[in-house]
A and B are shown apart, each in its own frame.
Chain A
Amino acid sequence: MSKTYQAIVIGAGPAGSSAALVMARAGLDVALVERGTFPGEKNMFGGVLHRLPALEEIFPDFWDRAALGRHIVKKGVTFMTGDSSFTTTIESGNFDKTPFNGYSIFRPRFDNWLAQEAVKAGATLITRATVDNLVYKNGTLAGVTVVGRTGELLAPVVIAADGVLSFIAKKAGLRQPTFNPSQMAVGVKALVDMPREMIDDRFGLVREQGFANEFVGCTAGVRGGGFLYTNYDSLSVGLVFHLASLRVSGKTPYDLLNAFMEQPQLAKMISGGKLQEYSAHLIPEGGYDMIPELVGDGIIVAGDAAALCNATGLNLEGINLASQSGVLAGTAVIEAHQNKDFSKRGLSVYNKLMEESYVIKDLKLYRKAPHMLHNDRIYNEYPELMCSFMEYIYRINGAPKENLSKLFLKSAKEKVGLGNLLADGFSAWRAL
């Protein structure tokens, strides 16, 4: 049996549910199709949910209403070696006031909350449905088919928010037929449970405050980094690796994660905790140059499916970009319905809205960042340099001191070479 809607959204993640929400609020009959038994079941991430300006506009009380965890008041970066670490943290009073700057969340809760808001607005949520093909009638996109189900879901327009591999964008001819491993990263994460009071005491937090830390130098030379952040009564600890680098390293993500969790300083942070869940996910880290064609006849691509992820090495943004692109995709479909034009041209207002939004502007600005991050020295030599230099500064043992800037140059020469230091500094300055 076939059912007809005014729009079909594939994937009830942050992009898809945001799109379904705005379309349903505008009165469109929308199907939100999700392969999990509930939205968020298949999703994981590692880090911080940044502010979602588009959703805050829809929900002025976003932070009271959404299924959020702690708000992040303290952020740190750690340069790590096998047995030492150098950390800088920023804790700001401003991060402790609404609108909060970021949150820890559980995707199975947050994504489900957002999808249910779309349902409240009138969208039809169809779970346990893996879309496997686009249906064309008389040369025009007419709907989708679902694995293992007879019949079709029909609509004149489809939003592909089906995640990082977006087989739908591939089928529509919008994305490259194969992926380049140097544009992809894989994240692995351990969820470690720990009593709330222990977390508060250990990380210096009160009330609903949270802490998030990034690590570099903890991946045994594989390009990538680590993270640790606090949930109410658990810690999320994980690593992210560039796939091209992981592949040739011969190392495994789980062995590297275990080594990270056994590093003496990290081990202290998680001691007393118990592993609850292990998860993994791909991240499209190719930046602006990886973005596929965003619009085709009868179809719009949003979120991870459109490779909307901004990885600069300091922040990793994805859900905010996904949600924003979903809202803009929904807005474009509402306009296409008003004009009764679902052609590529009719939907191209999405391109325009995206170009005007921070999503494409930021990705363009940091266009060179992915290239800069393909530098093995960042993941090995520089963390070693930072740790050994700081160790020297604080070691007072009766040996005569050396001039610090000379010493820094001397150790930099040993560890990375002065030419490389200059080149890397220039590359970072240009990219960021």
Chain B
Amino acid sequence: MNIDEIFDNTSFTIDREPHIIVNYEICTGCDNRGCVNSCPAKCYTWSEEDQKMTFVHDGCLECGTCYVVCHRDAFTLWRYPRGGFGVAYRMT
């Protein structure tokens, strides 16, 4: 299972409007960044070089792990996608 090929296996209807907005400034000052390793969809990437977090909502499985592990409340917005958008499971 290659997480970078998540779109080959799991279906998504991607909303151009993100349902999660992260305040990266808070991430830069974070001593933990448990979101990076805990997110099952690899939506969070931390660049050591640039000291910068990147979050992409496209492959988000809407599980809520980041919402729970973030102890800095770095979310400007965290809600579920608009109706009809986001992950669409078929056989789970």
Interface positions of A (Cβ within 8 A of B): 35-37, 40-45, 106-108, 127-130, 132, 146-148, 164-165, 167, 178-179, 181, 184, 186, 188-191, 231, 234, 236, 243, 246-254, 257-258, 261, 275-282
Contact = CB atoms under 8 A, between A and B. Distances in A.
Contact of B80 (A130, A188, A231, A251): A130
B12 to A, nearest CB: 11
Q: Which 9 A-B pairs have the closest CB atoms?
A: A128-B83, A247-B34, A128-B84, A280-B40, A44-B92, A254-B3, A253-B40, A280-B61, A279-B92
Interface on chain A toward B: helix, strand, loop, or mixed SS?
mixed
A279 B62 CA distance: 10
Contacts of B88: 36-37, 41
Interface of B: 1, 3, 6, 9-10, 13, 32, 34, 37-38, 40-42, 61-65, 67-69, 73, 79-84, 86-92
Contacts of A40: 89
A277 B90 CA distance: 8
Contact of A181 (B9, B69, B80): B69
A191 B69 contact: no
Interface on chain B toward A: helix, strand, loop, or mixed SS?
loop
B38 A147 contact: no
B37 A179 contact: no
Contact of B92 (A43, A147, A148): A43
A2 to B, nearest CB: 17
B64 A147 contact: no
A281 B62 CA distance: 8
Contacts of B41: 280
Contacts of A277: 9-10, 89-92
B37 to A, nearest CB: 5
